[in-house]
Structure 1
């Protein structure tokens, strides 16, 4: 039985990582198509950086992702703080309203957002894409930060106040340092969700605000070239590097905390 479970685990890892490995390998393919290997070449990396349309779409996705991550994390933190620390009337209703986008299909949300933007005559562009992505990402950041706040001792603000801390000092010196890891996790999840979103972007983007997923989707009509594989490889490397940097920083913080307690 243990051997069977081991083989199933190996097959799952193969299923997950073979496509990623294939993208990396074929990004160095000299052929004009990913269907056959034509030799090793860096040609598609050079063409990638010369493709103004794709580079502009990547820039738009980065801008939208960062703005969405920052705003969603900030609002999610305040929402989580209010829902966790204060027993206000209508708390359950407000939480339900925040979590509704997790239940509704994105195509319904996209159509609804487009209707609202058209009604108020708001031109489609980067601001509308950011607003649409915030609707999708806010429930995720709120849930993450609610869970993190729920693990903290509720008497911490009172203890800080007894020691002479103002509410702002309590936030900056007590709550936020304890929540830093969760805030980073919420931001990264919101950024990743926004960066890869295609449904909401389809309804909310306009001229000059085409995101990278939309650009790649439009290129499917002419076929995926190794240029897309090169872009995917760079994104994979950037993701791994970011995870490594965050992991090292977290490990240093844990070790520093352990050294202080000892």
Structure 2
């Protein structure tokens, strides 16, 4: 039985990481095609930074993702803290409403938002992209933050007030440090969800606001260039650096807390 479980686990890891390894390997492929490997080259990385259109879509995706993640995390913090202290009726209904966008098919949400923006004559662009991505990212950020906020001691506000803290000081000096790991997780999850989103972006992007996933998807019609593999390799490296940085920071925090 153990051998079967180990074999399945290894197969899952191979299935997950072989495509990632292939992207990295073929980003150095001198052949310029994914059908054969003919040697090592850095040409595609140089071509990547010279591709103005591709870099513009990367900047657009980064801007939209940063704005979406920041707004979603701020709103999620307020909602999570409010719900952790709320004891009235209808709490279950509010939770259902915040989680509803996760259940409704995203293509339905995209069509609905496009209809609303068209009806009120809102031009498609960065603003509509951020609003659309918020619909998808906000429930994820809120649920992550609510799970941490629910574990906080309900007497913290009273204790902080007794010590002379104002409501803002209670938030910045008590709540925020305790919720810091959840805030980081919610922001990163929202950023990733927005950065890789293609359904909402298909409906809500306008002229000059094409995102990177849409650019890559449109390239499928003419064939993916090796520069896409180079960009994918760099994004994988950036993700690895962020994960390691967050992990090291959390480990240091755990060690400091254990010593104190």
Deviation per CA, 1:12-53, whole angstroms, max 9, x where unpaired? Answer: 111111110011000000112111112111111111111111
Separation in 2 of the partners of 1:85 and 1:196?
A: 34
Q: Say if 1:122 and 1:88 are closer, same or farther in 2 by CA, change over 3 A.
A: farther
Task: Give the TM-score of the pair, scaled to structure 2.
Answer: 0.98
Q: Give the aligned partner of residue 155 of structure 2.
A: 155
Q: Give the aligned partner of residue 198 of structure 1.
A: 198
Task: Give the TM-score of the pair, scaled to structure 1.
Answer: 0.97
Separation in 1 of the partners of 2:209 and 2:191?
A: 17
- CA offset at residue 159 of structure 1? 1.2
How many equivalent pairs are there?
A: 260
RMSD of aligned Cα (Å): 1.0
Deviation per CA, 1:166-200, whole angstroms, max 9, x where unpaired? Answer: 11111111110000010000000000000000000
Separation in 2 of the partners of 1:33 and 1:225?
A: 8
Q: Are 1:31 and 1:38, in contact at CA under 8 Å, matched by a contact in 2? A: yes
Q: Give the aligned partner of residue 93 of structure 2.
A: 93
Q: Give the aligned partner of residue 11 of structure 1.
A: 11
Q: Which runs of 5+ in 1 are unaligned?
A: none
Q: Are 1:137 and 1:193, in contact at CA under 8 Å, matched by a contact in 2? A: yes
Separation in 1 of the partners of 2:15 and 2:93?
A: 41
Q: Which runs of 5+ in 2 are unaligned?
A: none
Q: Give the aligned partner of residue 218 of structure 1.
A: 218
Q: Give the aligned partner of residue 49 of structure 1.
A: 49
Q: Are 1:34 and 1:225, in contact at CA under 8 Å, matched by a contact in 2? A: no
Separation in 2 of the partners of 1:116 and 1:93?
A: 25
Residue 59 (str. 1) matches residue 40 (str. 2): no
Provide the secondary structure at the position in 1 that maps to 2:174. Answer: helix
